[in-house]
Structure 1
């Protein structure tokens, strides 16, 4: 691990990060992000006739790599750039600067090939709520050109593994809890058997049982199915339990990266991961975000 001060951490202990290790072989690197920048223009004032805009960077010169079979966590509060980063990695946003590659394929230049390798689960998964999980999943399978019988069986296996009852497979999604809907979103993501999975706050708002079911499934994907997983979260215990390495993000910048133990060690003996996050970023996670 290296040392670079970020604006967010400039008045506190700062951690610097070196460029990702490029000595790893191409086969070992599943995801390679180099100097990624993504900004947005927002209205800041003016009038209806002459509005004024300001440009801000949601992701600001971020570089890192994820090894094959690794669970890599990006930990930060809402508005820190986590979801923008995930969208850029999943081909949903075009980077303003820098590159993202998945197993050597550029997400912009090789978009179609990249999409065959990965899938994404977000906290705001969209469905046709009047339809059942079965109908939603079979519709998605058709979009991907999957055999409906294979897709249905694969979805059932995943949903059972996540603790969903068989009878719920035929019930309208609008009658299901937030946790059950999120399990359907995970099942949809795995219809295509992706080798890279982008999980954007997948357990936010779930009850403790559903959160545990999803976390155990994530570990199983890594250990049994050799999936590479990028997880964004603001849940400290979740990050410690699931992630092989963790990056702290604040104001669109990575301010520290390492194992949970390494990050705790950076701020002194007896410190928690939350202590490390607050010390290195200068931010706190709101209580409702940790619930």
Structure 2
């Protein structure tokens, strides 16, 4: 196994890039040969400068499988300056992974709670408060007791951010598909304004701000530039699609360049 490179040289205030490797697993699962390797893909992305790896294991194992979750946790132990983020619905299989990894001394740095159903095609909405508060509160508390940071997948609704903080979350991940869908249309500016307002509300509530879903090389820089306090973006589908043409290293570097283009001197980490 290739040894980790030196700690990332990104500026302290830069938005971090976490690469979602689900789609690598999706291709692998079409055969029984073990290729492409999910752990090798993650390693190449880390070598290229990605600050984290994300997976979203679903109960039907359509892409990431249970063994991948543990193999990646083992890999991430050799990259102590990078972060492992596991996404999913805490009412399904997610909590079992967190508990088992914590018991093995390999808890992820972050868990992202996503309110998707077992047969949902892809994540398409965030949590809603006060409706989801009571069931989330004890699960958030359990993760934090295990030493795992909690981020909640949220629509860009400013009024919801204080409630997300009230259940104990450390961060929110803003669901960015509406922004991506509006890119290049007359609605683009209005959508960006919604995300600016939601991010500022989150910051005002004491939360850190992540974002993800359909971000790509076209729309990423503008989002980083306009959304205050953007701590991390999680990108999978577009990044892995680009990697099929450009390779993992060049693709990660291209996304990091988009982030650098969007970063402003006063942006918070």
Range of TM-score over shorter length:
0.3 to 0.5
TM-score by length of 2: 0.40
Q: Report the structure, 1 or 2, having the larger strand content.
A: 1
TM-score by length of 1: 0.38
